[in-house]
A and B are shown apart, each in its own frame.
Chain A
Amino acid sequence: MRDIETKSRKSELLIILTIVIASVPMILAFSLLVLSSFSEEMVTNLKSFRPTLENWINLFQGKMAITGSIRVNIFEITLNTLIVALGVAGLVTIVSTLAGYALSRMDFRGRKHVMIALLVLHAFPGVALIVGVYLLYKLTLPQDPDLMRFYSFFYVILARGALEIPMSVWLMKGFFDAIPWEFEWSGIIDGASRITVWRKIMLPLVKPGILAVALFAFIAGWQDIIYVRTFLIDQTLATFIESNIESEFSHMPLIAAAGTLYLLPTIVFFLIAQRILLQGYSGGLKG
């Protein structure tokens, strides 16, 4: 906020200091992880930082342990993670853009109930759902192994995406609400069909909203572990890290490197999408 300019700097410094102190463990913990990935030993004990790139090289070569021959394909794992994240992002974006428009602009019967339902669904315990969702998965899983793998991707995207739908729809509805009706009316008066109006007028105007929804859905898909480990047959970075902690053969700094790799998109978003992150969340949560 733009505060008075003549006030003493002291109180401001005090606030900054307090927040910084509160943030220290978080900053420390995250930076130690990243640092460890470049070190021969874990530096989480604040000692023994001996720089090396070996962890990263080993990670990309899939050498899980210093000795032995356990090998994984980290590229494939990363790709799996990416498929899930992109799938969730695409699905959520499309569905919520259409549904958000409908809820914002069309007065159909049951509209109100749909909106209430969406909010209540959002408050719904995911864990109660996942059990039922899993049973459904079990019942519909194809027998053919190749098809099974494909189906598991398909299913995890749908299931995880569904979890993001209620909030994203509300968010999109908010963005559509913000567009004056007059834009649409003038389009219709000029003889455009509703679909043309939607494509030519509304869509460009809600681009920031679409971007925000897509970003959040991507983050959700990327960070997920529960759905991935429950449904997906292939490994993602999340399950890779999950399963390699505390296993005797794994080299801890190498896991740190995997963690850092996994964290990378988050850091990228931090650098390029700060405004969307801060504003998008507030827009969606205001409802």
Chain B
Amino acid sequence: MVRIRLENITKEFGDFKALDGIDLEIEEGEFMALLGPSGSGKSTLLYIIAGIYKPTKGRIYFDDGDVTDLPPKDRNVGLVFQNWALYPHMSVFENITFPLELRKVAKGEIRRKVAEVTEMLKIENLLDRYPWQLSGGQQQRVAIARALVKEPDVLLLDEPLSNLDALLRIEVRAELKRLQKKLGITAVYVTHDQAEALAMADRIAVIKDGRLLQVGTPEEIYERPRHKFVGGFIGNPPMNFLNGFADRGILRIGKSTIPLPKEYESVRGEVIVGFRPHDVEIGEGIEGEVYSVEHLGREQIVTVSVEGEMVKVIVPGDRRFEFGDKVRLKPKKIVLFDKKTETAI
């Protein structure tokens, strides 16, 4: 198990800057999710850790060793691809043993290791089958088995669940996390699904346009986004944003005003206020008009139009709202962002 340290990683593909000065530390045995929209550079970062890409600038350390110029095989990493990349002409057994064969591991040893890893992933009775005879979930297990069988120091996963259907995904993600904790292996997990990242990761690194916006535990990321984008990307529905003007502890939004909490008392000027749909009470506060209502059983999502901007609010399912109802929203927890830089104040 290793600790991974990335120092000022920059990657350029021709004129395109895929990654821009990423600094990140991943602790030993930690489950780190790299979260971002497609094209954000998160997979590129994973491939740099794996050694498939070479950073244009910056260094990578495993523990204290500089591995920047090492090829993947000398880094001892296990990699699981989005499409699993199982060799179609090899049986499950051959697929799993392939990495060991390349290392010229003795036959008996191979058998033992395969037995161990397949038992752990509950695929021991699939060994004679071929990839096309397996379901998506099974293929995914085989891919993980192939990555784990060589006992890597780091397990790298590139959206391994995105090819599974929604229900299976939720089942597998719990299992995957259990497995990682059981093995105590350092894992880096790339995903564009914020729910997946929140559910599985010890810490999440949010990446956008090749920049690292925030690193933190799921709770920190959720509760205290450092950047407007993080707030808007995480949570379902995501954070609401309204333009406002802060002055001496008062926030003015359109015609309405709400008091600011203590830590924001000194803020003055144009700001963006962000609040979670869960953290809103309907009562006193910001004036708006009901735009639409979606029932989700126990609760409902009410979209409210405030000065032409849409705000989503989650309220208990027993209250009735009609289109056009005038409501007042009172955010319980807010985050203020700078209007220009969109970073948290």
Contacts and interface: CB of A to CB of B under 8 A. Distances in A.
Chains A and B share a contact (CB less than 8 Å): yes
Contacts of B70: 6
A6 B70 CA distance: 6
Interface in B194-213: none
Contacts of B51: 4, 6
A8 to B, nearest CB: 7
Contacts of A6: 51-54, 69-72
Interface residues of A, number: 5
Identify which of A4, A5, A6, A7 gathers the most chain B CB atoms within 10 Å of its CB: A6
Contacts of B52: 4-6
A5 B11 CA distance: 12
Interface string A1-19: 0001111100000000000
A46 to B, nearest CB: 42
Interface string B69-89: 111100000000000000000
Contacts of A4: 51-53, 71-72
Interface string A59-101: 0000000000000000000000000000000000000000000
Interface in A1-55: 4-8
Interface in A225-247: none
A120 B80 CA distance: 45
Identify which of A5, A7, A8 gathers the most chain B CB atoms within 10 Å of its CB: A5
Contacts of B54: 5-6
Contacts of A7: 71
A4 B74 CA distance: 13
Interface in B46-104: 51-54, 69-72
A4 B54 CA distance: 8
B179 to A, nearest CB: 27
B105 to A, nearest CB: 22
A6 B55 CA distance: 10
Contacts of B69: 6
A156 B52 CA distance: 55
A6 B54 CA distance: 6
A6 B53 CA distance: 7
B49 to A, nearest CB: 11
Contacts of B53: 4-6
Nearest to A4: B52
Nearest to B69: A6
A275 B184 CA distance: 50
B62 to A, nearest CB: 14
Contacts of B71: 4, 6-8
Nearest to A8: B71
A7 B53 CA distance: 10
A41 to B, nearest CB: 48
Contacts of A5: 52-54
Nearest to B75: A6
A7 B70 CA distance: 8
Interface in A182-211: none
Nearest to B55: A5
B11 to A, nearest CB: 10
Interface string A164-186: 00000000000000000000000
A5 B50 CA distance: 11
Nearest to B53: A5
A6 B74 CA distance: 10
Nearest to B50: A4
A73 to B, nearest CB: 52
Nearest to B67: A6
Interface in A248-282: none
A4 B53 CA distance: 6
A8 B69 CA distance: 9
Nearest to B71: A6
Contacts of A8: 71
B14 to A, nearest CB: 12
A7 B74 CA distance: 10
A170 to B, nearest CB: 27
A7 B69 CA distance: 9
A240 B107 CA distance: 68
A6 B73 CA distance: 10
List 4 tightest A-B contacts by C-beta distance, closest first. A5-B54, A6-B71, A4-B52, A6-B51
18 contacts: A4-B51, A4-B52, A4-B53, A4-B71, A4-B72, A5-B52, A5-B53, A5-B54, A6-B51, A6-B52, A6-B53, A6-B54, A6-B69, A6-B70, A6-B71, A6-B72, A7-B71, A8-B71
Given A4-B51, A6-B69, 16 more contacts: A4-B52, A4-B53, A4-B71, A4-B72, A5-B52, A5-B53, A5-B54, A6-B51, A6-B52, A6-B53, A6-B54, A6-B70, A6-B71, A6-B72, A7-B71, A8-B71
Interface of A: 4-8
